[in-house]
Amino acid sequence: MSLHLVLGGVRSGKSRYAQELASSHEKVIYVATANAKDDSMKERVKRHQADRPKSWTTLEAYRDFSAHKKELQEADFVIVDCLTFMLSRLLFEKEEKVEHFQWSAEELQEVEEIIHEQIDELIDALGSTPSAIVSNEVGLGVVPESWLGNVFRDISGRAHQRVGARASEVTLMVAGIPLKIKE
């Protein structure tokens, strides 16, 4: 497997770097995990779309990747952009069921298990296809003030560990510069 985890802060060059990794490949699938609900997010999506070649195929998905296994494994390269949005969307699925994020330890464990299952399903669906999974390294920032912020930071950190353990390469983007963490 040739799985590359690309981590970094906001606007650190993560997506650009993943696109550079894919640029020499002909059949590229760009897995977009975001849900563009507000104007700023819609604008960000437009910028990302403009930055990538028109020949690339976009797959909008954040879960149930086994349904796309054949398509993903027939690609020359897959970019998943980004794991952060995938995690937040999975987390907010739970929020719809529980009022005001008042979750028990058991409910948090349940959510994290679902997230880990979806990460494993994604990686398994990619198979041996050369791939880059992009994600925000939120653990390097300030300590979140809110309970939900802390929960997300912790879940995100453990998710990165899970992907990093299975990745053949891990790169940390800092100021547009790729720093190899695992080769």
pLDDT, residue 37, reads 72
Which residues does the annotation mark as catalytic? 48
DSSP reduced 3-state for 102: coil
pLDDT, residue 119, reads 98
Cα–Cα distance measured from residue 23 to residue 18, given in angstroms and rounded to the nearest whole number: 9
Question: In this predicted structure, which of 42-51, 102-111, 140-149 has the lowest mean pLDDT?
Answer: 42-51
Average pLDDT of span 92-109:
74
pLDDT confidence of 63, banded at 50, 70, 90? very high
Cα–Cα distance measured from residue 169 to residue 7, given in angstroms and rounded to the nearest whole number: 11
Q: Which CATH architecture has domain 3-182?
A: 3-Layer(aba) Sandwich (3.40)
Q: Tokens for 43? A: 């604008």
Which residues have CB under 8 Å from 147's CB, separation 6+? 101
pLDDT confidence of 133, banded at 50, 70, 90? very high
Any long-range contacts for 100-104 (C-beta under 8 Å, 24+ apart)?
Answer: 101/147, 101/148, 101/151
Helices (H) and strands (E) in the chain, counts: 6, 7
What's the farthest any 2 CA atoms get from each other in the chain?
47
